[in-house]
Amino acid sequence: LVGRAGPGGKAAAFAEATLGRGRTVGANVGARLDWSSEFGAMASPSLAARALVGPAALRASVNRGYRTPTWTE
């Protein structure tokens, strides 16, 4: 957890787990939680999968991101 208190304060926490390490099929699961004193809390989950097919590796991922708006937005 990182952040600063007071007006304009921000904080964030991140966690990640790897499933199936060293196997033919595996996945990574992650989550990030951002907090801003101006905009509140926002969760950003992520999921990635991997499958070994012969000499090739197939990979796919999906996630959600968040960016604090600028003063002009």
**What pLDDT, in 10s, does the model give residues 25-49?**
999 999 999 888 888 899 999 999 9
Higher model confidence: residue 19 or residue 71?
19
User: How much is the pTM?
Assistant: 0.72
Of residues 38 and 3, the one with the higher pLDDT is: 38
Strands lying side by side in the sheet with 56-63: 2-4, 10-19, 25-36, 40-53, 56-63
Return the residue matching tokens 């926490």: 13
User: What is the distance, to the nearest Å, from the Cα of residue 15 to the centroid of all Cα atoms in its chain?
Assistant: 8
Dihedral pair phi/psi, residue 51, rounded to 5°: -135, 130
Question: Which residues share a beta bridge with 64?
Answer: none
Q: Which has the higher per-residue pLDDT, 68 or 35? A: 35
User: Residue 44's pLDDT is what?
Assistant: 94
Q: How far is CA 51 from the centre of its chain?
A: 21
